Chain A
């Protein structure tokens, strides 16, 4: 039985005069006012090392901005405590570009943890949901292994599945297609498509260099460049950028 009724519906994600920088490095975001498009698949695009992963971490609430506001439903979440941010956090799924699996738990337990810790599902329903996904990705035989005992491909897949298994409203994926193979890419695309169609996943953010994979989603492009975010309203191949003023 699903228990997500107490979670708020995420309607808007917005930055207001937001700065994000790390010590001795160029700022990743500098005085950014930006409203992310809603209900779409967003492709975060930038040059290497511009800070796409940091931007995704900021959206996931794993990094706090240096200055300014990160507003979800017009609530400034950057100043919230862990407990205050929890309802939003449970509505966000995040998959890492590498690592991130709990090494002393089996792959099955890694998937069970987000479902049963906050009682999103009862253990039996959680098992059923995991079995369904593992069959779909054909990874059932690995589920009782620990992360160190399986290939990088399986680890990456589990990390991606863990992000979507709670059916979050916002899905953030950092380089999801790297190392999982074409077949798994197709299954992942179909999984996300199914959940979007059912209205479970509403907003998807993907950072990737894999144009072939990302084009399957027909995404809206958001460029991160020189500490600013730009929305690209045109076709994928049209690289004309437009500054968004809120």
Chain B
């Protein structure tokens, strides 16, 4: 009996802890938006350099890795799809299959993982070090709100970068993947491109934007939040960085899963299944 209660207790603590964490992160989102709107001194020019630097580090510098990942993922999925769909006699479904697999599902998740590994860690450790070095306090003492000066531009730059990277990933995976595997199949490019174009719908665009924009937001907000948790000592920085990675992955996966589940629920409702 005590084992059951113990399990319920620990589950309750786990859920409460995570709900509290989510609540605090959301409060930080609200406060940073509020601070940005209310900060009359901070013009766009002031934060432009931070936004552009974030886009450069998160977006531009990640291009080689995303290129390799896009090409390999696109090629693998394309080859698997072709061999299996041909056996099932559904080669004309190739476009729909790739759009679902790459644009809707694998693309947002893989790009998010790359961004977490490269930029989420960088932002968490940068903000953590700023905290340990008392730079955040120094900004406050000068009347500069760290939430509008540090957090907001990083989140905005991060969201723009993730959307651009995801677009690039999909392009490389769908088009580059086709040409990279050209020797292994004999599908005409016109057939392939027509199949992709006819499969691509407006809901794919919404899912693409929704998943990538929110993934970017989650990654950079969680990373900034974790960085700001550092109190005084630099030894806390690696700890909060690790936690930023773990929490970002969990939140991004849960968000992607929720969007996918809701979308397919909607499809089932439209088909009259439920």
Contacts and interface: CB of A to CB of B under 8 A. Distances in A.
Interface of A: 57, 60-62, 82-83, 86, 89-90, 92-94, 96, 98-103, 113-114, 117-119, 162
Contact of A103 (B130, B139, B144): B130
Nearest to A102: B135
Interface in B24-46: 35, 38-39, 41-42, 46
Given A89-B143, A117-B46, A101 B138 contact: yes
A147 to B, nearest CB: 9
Given A83-B38, A89-B141, A100 B134 contact: yes
Chain B residues touching A, range? 20 to 34
17 contacts: A62-B137, A62-B140, A82-B140, A83-B38, A89-B140, A89-B141, A94-B141, A99-B134, A100-B133, A102-B138, A103-B130, A103-B133, A113-B142, A113-B144, A114-B142, A117-B41, A162-B142
B145 interface: yes
A21 to B, nearest CB: 16
B140 A100 contact: no
Secondary structure dominating the interface of B: helix
Contact of A86 (B46, B135, B139, B143): B143
Given A99-B135, A103-B133, 7 more contacts: A60-B141, A100-B137, A100-B138, A101-B138, A102-B138, A102-B139, A113-B144
Interface of B: 35, 38-39, 41-42, 46, 129-130, 132-135, 137-145
Contact of B137 (A89, A96, A119): A96
A85 to B, nearest CB: 9
Contacts of A90: 143
Contacts of A99: 132-135, 138
Nearest to A119: B41
Question: 8 closest pairs, A vs B, by CB?
Answer: A99-B134, A100-B138, A114-B142, A94-B141, A89-B143, A100-B134, A99-B133, A118-B41
Contacts of B141: 60, 62, 89, 92-94, 100
A57 B140 CA distance: 11
A231 to B, nearest CB: 26
